Amino acid sequence: MPAVRLCVKGQVQGVGFRPFVHRLATELSLAGEVSNTRSGVRIDLLGADDALKRFRLGLYEQLPPLARIDQLTEERLEPAPAVDGFHIIASESADTPLELPVMPDTAVCPLCLAEMFDVADRRYRYPFINCTHCGPRYSLIRSLPYDRPNTSMAAFTQCEACLAEYHSERDRRFHAQPNACADCGPELWLESARGDRLSGDVIEQALAALKRGEILAIRGIGGFHLVCNARNEAAVQRLRQRKQRPAKPFAIMALNAASLESAVELTTIGRQWLESREAPIVLLRKRADTGGALAEALAPGLDRLGTMLPHSPLQWLLFHEAAGRPSGSEWLEATHPMVLVMTSANRSGEPLITGNDQAREKLSAVADLFVMHNREIVHRADDSLINAISEPPAWIRLGRGLAPREIPLAQSGPSVLAFGAYMKNTLCLTRGDRAFISPHIGDLDNADNCRTLEESVGQLCDLLGTRPEHIACDLHPDFHASRVAAAMADRLGVKLHAVQHHHAHVAAVMAEHKTTEPVLGLALDGVGLGWDGQLRGGELLQVDSAGFSPVGELVALALPGGDAAAREPWRMASSALHRMGRPELISRLFPDRPGAEAVGRMLERGVNCPPCSSLGRVFDAAAALLRICEVQRYEAQAPMQLEAMAAGVKLADLQSLHRIQNGAKGLELDLLPLLESLIDEADQAQGAARFQAALILALTDWVCRASRAQGIKRVVMAGGCFLNMSLRDGLRDALIRAGIQVLLPQAVPANDAAISLGQAWAVHMKCSGSHV
């Protein structure tokens, strides 16, 4: 009988793939064996040709929920081995580095939920239930291969019943590394803010506290959440005050999508992501009238709300308790009134808190009660965040369920470790033809985030078993990430590559679209150090595998006070007024700003007013001129409120309000006429809508002229400004109508979280080709 060897690469370890292969082969009366290897899974099969054909088909059609096949190779085995039956055999030795993906954490599967709500099941109401189809992965892995001794579950010895499941090839918990039960696994307890452990049922008491309007700190999969009743205005305001988060929006959690319909407009793609195993926070548009059902303080001044469904067993148990502990799973489909604020537990700007002692130290003045557990979180993972208001949806943050994010590349090449940006920092490590992006680390403006970056470097390299051959960082030499990168390159004796900020933005989109061909890159964001030493936030670049060349730029505005201008949009409006030759309007338009006269003098004298070609700062100026937002209490508040103000506004007519001319650095786009048109606008909503629509006209004109000049019909749109869905979608559609192919960020965010991928791909392309 014929015998074959199949070698499978992809997400095929730790996901129940070998038991699945065993069942499929046995059903088809095939003999042979299956084992893990350093790069995937090896399957040796002996049987009739028809059975082998049906096996190959079933391999794809009946995959376990978390499995993914990236590559399947086949060779004939001659002579055919003498085997009896089909067996799962031990993994081969991992003396050499493993070429395996890292499994992200996933939401509880329906089978585990059914067990958790079954009074007769031994895991009834067990808050750490999991199987090979679901549960924590990345958050508890210390090293690969993904075996229990290499995870934080090594601290828990399985009881006899769990061990029987773990070793049974026919059980879905066969080799489920976090497998446990109430007799042998992690435990849950409740503490007061003073650190006293409280007796009684943890879930019951936690729910009672939420009903009283108290704030809970709950230890989850990748870190702590701060939780309160989203219908209780006083509780939400108290959380804002204690967390020192006066305006930045909070995410909410409901039992199911149906329970959210009274608060938000559910899109098809939004519902899909809410109910996905990744279970991210999903941004959806608020309903115009919710009847006061939710606290007004959840997302002040915005037209959207971050929504999520339970993803951990503990979160499901809170809703189960609120529903009266019903048996079975039918109740999961019904609407439920409880809505919770579910926000990351950290002090403003600091990393997500993961440890119990750290939570006691830093959250004692924030939380009234603490829900703790003793399963160590090895890797922190904030909730992933996606905007699903339009299609394609736009990732804003990669975290739990998505990270480490694996990106297939167009070609194999040397390993590159990229250190990312100053804001929204992530790391990226390439291995062969794959790139792996770390979870969100955060802004490198505080010591804790800087330490997290340094720890994450070693963790990522160790986890992937890869020693970088090249190091990449931002062009700015004073960023903490750039200094750490330089030190590591020196220590390893490898080359350090400084990659310009916007080059990296464009290259990130090229990476996910698997292209090395020349593109025209439109990079629009807040600010980054440019190739010429100037601050840039809006430019056109031609990018290919060899590097980039500048094609055009926005006409710069001065930043009065430097970084202060990014926090105070009225300063950017003042800068625009000064450039218009109307400085006398500064004090008139901003009479409540005590520094208005001083800013006018700074602009007149050119003192501490560096120029910056930034579209992000143009948005700030527009928001301030329209009196929508003069001072930002969180990043991008002004443009977000401007976008919300413009939503749904119909414009009667629209005229061109920009200038384009040839300059020393290519095509220059001047948006000053557009800003000037906003000065006397009495209707904020009309002004906001007109600004966005006229901006789309201006950018379309600019890009089309550059496209014709360069002879390139493929345009990459990158940078944080494209998290504005009205701008992204309007410009994309206009360029497509003009006959231009548009590449958008889809697998990674448009903002600085993608910079590490772009840095890695820019170096990867250069070092894999003829440009070394």
Query: pLDDT value at position 723?
Result: 97
Query: pLDDT value at position 290?
Result: 67
When pLDDT is averaged across residues 737-764 and rounded to a whole number, the result is 97
Q: Which of 310, 503, 276, 306 is nearest to 396 (CA)?
A: 306
How far is 150 from 142, CA to CA, in rounded Å?
5
Encoding tokens for residue 746?
């889809």
Q: Is 18 noted as a catalytic residue in this protein?
A: yes
Give ∠ CA 439-442-445 in degrees, rounded to 5. 155
Tens-place pLDDT, residues 512-535: 999 999 999 999 999 999 988 899
Tell me: pLDDT of 145 over 80: no
Dihedral angle computed from the Cα positions of residues 236, 239, 240 and 241, in that order, rounded to the nearest 10 degrees? 120
Residue 390 has φ and ψ, to the nearest 5°, of -135, 175
Query: pLDDT value at position 770?
Result: 39
Q: Which residue is catalytic, options 5, 23, 36, 601?
A: 36
Tell me: pLDDT of 100 over 70: no
Encoding tokens for residue 365?
């003045």
Q: Is 36 noted as a catalytic residue in this protein?
A: yes
When pLDDT is averaged across residues 648-673 and rounded to a whole number, the result is 92
What domains can you pick out in the chain, each with its CATH number?
Answer: 3-88 (3.30.70.100), 188-387 (3.90.870.40), 398-516+752-769 (3.30.420.360), 519-743 (3.30.420.40)
Coil, strand, or helix at residue 172? coil
Least confident of 11-15, 514-518, 657-661: 11-15
285 to 461, 475, 634: CA distances (angstroms): 39, 37, 20
Query: pLDDT value at position 98?
Result: 58
Dihedral angle computed from the Cα positions of residues 639, 645, 647 and 648, in that order, rounded to the nearest 10 degrees? -160
Query: pLDDT value at position 291?
Result: 60
Query: pLDDT value at position 147?
Result: 84
When pLDDT is averaged across residues 175-184 and rounded to a whole number, the result is 95
Confidence of residue 399 (pLDDT cuts 50, 70, 90): very high
Tell me: pLDDT of 471 over 90: yes
594 to 350, 570, 591: CA distances (angstroms): 31, 12, 8
List the alpha helices (DSSP H) in 29-177: 49-61, 110-116, 160-167
Tell me: pLDDT of 95 over 70: no
Tens-place pLDDT, residues 251-310: 999 999 999 999 999 999 999 999 999 999 999 999 987 666 899 999 999 999 999 999
Give ∠ CA 283-285-287 in degrees, rounded to 5. 140
User: In sequence order, what are the beta bridge partners of 227?
Assistant: 216, 342
Spatial contact of 541 and 513, defined as CB atoms under 8 Å apart: no
Tens-place pLDDT, residues 554-598: 999 999 999 999 999 999 999 999 999 999 999 999 999 988 999
Query: pLDDT value at position 500?
Result: 97
Tens-place pLDDT, residues 189-198: 999 999 999 9
Q: Which residue is catalytic, options 18, 231, 238, 593?
A: 18
Tens-place pLDDT, residues 248-262: 999 999 999 999 999
Tens-place pLDDT, residues 307-358: 999 999 999 999 999 999 999 999 999 999 999 999 999 877 788 999 999 9
Confidence of residue 92 (pLDDT cuts 50, 70, 90): low
- Axis crossing angle, helix 615-625 with helix 684-710, rounded to the nearest 10: 160
Average pLDDT over the chain reads 94
- DSSP-derived secondary structure for 229-264: ETT-HHHHHHHHHHHT-SSSPPEEEESSGGGGTTTE
How far is 206 from 45, CA to CA, in rounded Å?
53
Decide the pairing of beta strands 394-397 and 385-387: antiparallel
Percent of the chain past pLDDT 90, that is, above it, reads 87
